[in-house]
Amino acid sequence: MVEEPDDETATAALPQLGGVGNARTTILRAFGREERGRVIAKAAG
């Protein structure tokens, strides 16, 4: 697990690491409390 200061940094760094061939990368964005509430509200319709 890696934590970067922002989404742009992670998006730029992790594919380079994966391109070396000895690591797999998956980027999962964590949502803050307010963002999660909006996501749940949208999913509920």
Q: In this predicted model, what pLDDT tens digit does every residue of 4-18 receive, in sequence order?
A: 787 777 777 777 777
Check residue 8 and give its pLDDT: 73
Check residue 9 and give its pLDDT: 79
Check residue 3 and give its pLDDT: 79
Q: Which pTM does this prediction carry?
A: 0.42
Check residue 30 and give its pLDDT: 82
Phi-psi domain of 21 (left: phi exceeds 0; alpha: psi -120 through 50; beta: other): left
Burial of 32 (0-12, 13-18, 19+ CB in 10 A): exposed
Structure tokens at 2: 């890696």
